Structures are given as structure tokens and as C-alpha cells.
Amino acid sequence: MAQDMLLFWGSGSPPCWKIMIALEEKNLQGYHNKLLSFEKKDHKSKEVMDINPRGQLPTFKHGNNVINESYGACLYLESQFKSQGTQLIPDIPLEQALVYQRMFEGQTLQQKQSDVIYYTWRVPEAERHDSTVKRNKEALTAELQLWEGYLSKPEAGPYLAGKAFTMADVLCFPVIAYGFRFGLSQEKYPKLGQYYTLVKERPSVTASWPPHWLENPQGMDTLKDV
Amino acid sequence: MAQDMLLFWGSGSPPCWKIMIALEEKNLQGYHNKLLSFEKKDHKSKEVMDINPRGQLPTFKHGNNVINESYGACLYLESQFKSQGTQLIPDIPLEQALVYQRMFEGQTLQQKQSDVIYYTWRVPEAERHDSTVKRNKEALTAELQLWEGYLSKPEAGPYLAGKAFTMADVLCFPVIAYGFRFGLSQEKYPKLGQYYTLVKERPSVTASWPPHWLENPQGMDTLKDV
């Protein structure tokens, strides 16, 4: 089935990485894929825009079925290949509820982290304020403390929604890995650090690790004081 | 089963309304619920914080299963009550792909709309810029034109993902209704206007219509020039 699939992706993009981890977990190796460059604006090229009018990566197709939204694509893959590879959404209601809860809390984490990491990239210089940067960092600190707290509960871990690797990890791990690459302190967030250390060795994650992170293991330190 | 459910909600909050529409569509009337006031900071009260450490509405429980994230709660309800009421996620892969795609594009629409509607509420006065407001409005206009385009395709409609009412409508209609309440022009966005007019008469939607919108049918005109 994976030969029917096509993924346009960018290295290090958490949304792209989410789909790539899901594909690995569902044993869907061998899909067609093309690594594109954000710098060269490949994501605005005709081959992408024809499938994805937003001109964004990831751009993903399974046969004629287009799902460019990373959460949508991951849910689609789990639904279409439910009994293949890792079961990413548990059947037991209590476990399922926690997976759905953490999956979508991950969007808030990503948003708050992006507000800090991309501030100078997204906000024109004339509109920047130190007070905004300070507030965004405080919001991210509070968010990270919430996740650190989740992982500190006696019954928690080692994964985000308990003892099994689930869709919550597929969707949130790339965001957390991105945080550590941008200087997040493993001393300040030891439980998140333990989680990062555990999951980064998972085969689906190593197989899809951003190639430019391998070339340049050291990222920026934007989050060092968060 | 609905007697096992508890929803804390705020009137007019799109995330709350999404869960309420899903509950109606799944024939889960009769759930326990409590209308809380954002103005009185009820969402930071102990009864909410005990279930939802973020202190936000919606706060939702099914038995002991807590799913406060609106997307998560709606997916959980569809999964747990798949054969009850309206099937919100189709089985046919092509149809399912489109539902997942539109569901998550709806988050971008909500984000861009919120950036305009809540600007003065979220950004302290000393950090506000006319240039930001202009850019946010342009981004929202482009986003709305994308949706108008989706609904203008010959094979499209009347619902967001085709001929059937789906999870895409559950999750996006409250956002679109919010846009029209805040002054969006039905002349400028006629297809979105038609969609709004159709869905606002749906029983699940009328049964969950925000009570303070009934009292005050006219909202603000923040989006009139978008």
C-alpha cells in the first residue's frame, strides 16, 4: 500500500516528522517521498500547490486521497491501517480519552513554543517588544511545567499517555525534540528530558530523524532561559 | 450513557459549542452540564480546576474519562458511540480523508479569525500596531477566500466535506458562525453565507445555540471589512 503514498516534506518540520513517524509505526515504509527546501521556497512550487493550495509541507497523498494536515494524516493512517503495526489509539475508553487529551494539548505546546522560537522571524522588527518576548517565554515555561507535572505523576509514563507508545507520542514527540534542539534545559525539565532520551532511540524516530539535524547536531539556544 | 457525562461550558465559546453539537448528533442528550461565566472567572474555580488544570472551558468528563480538548472530546464521542446517531467520520477512504483535512484546516481558520477578533483583548495597548492589525486582517481574508473557494467547486457542498454532515461541520461550523456574528459579510462570502444559513437550522445546532446570542442577536462588527 505504501507505494500508493506520496509525501513532500521538509527536514526538521515537526508536522512533517509526525506523519513520517506514523508511517513507520504503521509499517508503511517504502512510500514515495521528496525532501524539499523551505529556503528555496520549494513548498510554493507547482508540484506542491497542485496538491496543497496552502503551499505548505507536509503535503501528503494516499492514492487520490489528499490529507495535508499532519493531525488529519496521522488519524487517517491509524484508521485505514488499524490492525497493521503499532496500535496508536487504544480501544479501552479510559486510555483512549487520555491519548486524545494529550494529542490536542500538544497543539498548545507547539503554539507556545513557536511563539518564542519564531518571534523574530514572524514579527517585523518595528512591531517587536521585549515585553511580548517576556510574556511568550513565561507562557511557554508554564506550559512546559504542566507537561513536566503530567510526567511526574506516580502512575505516569514512560510515554505521554502511559505505558504504551501512542498517537500522543507520534504528534507531540517532534515538538518536544524541537524544544530540546532549541536549547531547552534537561536539568530544568528532567521528566521531559527522560522522555526525550527514551523516545529518540525508538526505531520509527531514528528512521525519520531530520537529516540536517544529523549534519548539525547542535541547534540554536533560543529556549535556554525558558 | 449521557447521564455519566458532565460538561462545564461557556456561552458562545466555539470549543464548547463543538462538543455540544457532537453530543446532540450522537443522541447523547441529557448529559449533566453547567453554564459558567467567563466574566466571573468561573473557569478558574475549584470545580473546573479539579478536572482541568488549564482552567478552561470546555471541561468534559465521561465517567472517569476526562477529555477537555474539544477536538479530542468530539473524536472520543464518535469513537465510543460510532453506531449511534449521525456517523461523523465516514468509512470510505476518500470521504474520510476530506473530513480529516477540513477538520484540521478549521483550526487555522479559527486561529486567524481569533487573531483579528481578540487582538485588543490579547495584546496590551503599548504593544499594538496598526500594521499588525492590517496583516492579521489580510491573512484572515486569504483564509476565508480559500474556504469560499472550497465551497464553490462544482462537486462541493452543501456541507464542508460534501453531501453529508460530518465531523468537519461539528468542528468548523461554530467558528464560521462566530465569524458571521462578528460582522463577516455574507455578500463578500456568499458560499460561506449559504453554508451558515443551512447549518444554523440543523436541530443539533439550534438545540445548542449560545443562549446569550438569543438574548442579543447582534454581535460586534469587528470583521465587517475583512
Q: What would the pLDDT profile of B160-217 be if each residue is shown by its tens digit?
A: 999 999 999 999 999 999 999 999 999 999 999 999 999 999 999 999 999 999 999 8
Q: For residue B85, give the DSSP letter.
A: S
3-class state of residue A8 by DSSP: strand
Q: Quick one: which of A35, A70, A76, A39 has its CA closest to A52?
A: A70
Match 456541507 to its residue by C-alpha cell. B159
**Higher per-residue confidence, A77 vs A218:** A77
Contacting residues of A for B93, CB less than 8 Å apart? 62-63, 65, 76, 80
**pLDDT-based confidence at B77, cuts 50/70/90?**
very high
Contacting residues of A for B89, CB less than 8 Å apart? 79
Chain-chain contact of A93 with B146 (C-beta, under 8 angstroms): no
Which residues have C-beta within 8 Å of that of residue A85, sequence separation ≥ 6?
A25, A26, A27, A28
Contacting residues of B for A146, CB less than 8 Å apart? 53-54
Q: What DSSP string describes A53-83?
A: TT--S-EEEETTEE--SHHHHHHHHHHHTTT
Chain-chain contact of A129 with B132 (C-beta, under 8 angstroms): no
**Residue in A with minimal Cα distance to B111:** A111
Cis omega (within 30 of 0) on the bond before B210?
A: no
Give the H/E segment covering residue B55: none
Looking at every residue in chain B, the average pLDDT score rounds to 97
Predicted local confidence at residue A109, as pLDDT: 98
Chain-chain contact of A69 with B103 (C-beta, under 8 angstroms): yes
Chain A nearest CA to B50, separation (Å): 14
How far is it, in rounded angstroms, from Cα B110 to Cα B18?
12
Chain A nearest CA to B204, separation (Å): 23
Which one-letter amino acid corresponds to residue B199? V
Chain A nearest CA to B159, separation (Å): 18
Which one-letter amino acid corresponds to residue B45? S
Which cell numbers hold the place of B81?
458511540
Give the closest of A67, A80, A100 to B69, CB-based. A100
3-class state of residue B5 by DSSP: strand
Report the phi/psi class of residue B63: left, alpha or beta, with left for phi > 0 and alpha for psi in -120 to 50.
Answer: left
8 Å CB contact between A81 and A1: yes
What domains sit in chain B, N to C, each tagged with a CATH number? 2-80 (3.40.30.10), 93-215 (1.20.1050.10)
Predicted local confidence at residue B1, as pLDDT: 63
Give the closest of A69, A76, A131 to B96, CB-based. A76
**pLDDT-based confidence at A217, cuts 50/70/90?**
confident
Q: Which of B49, B64, B67 to mutate to test the interface with A (most CBs of A within 10 A)?
A: B67
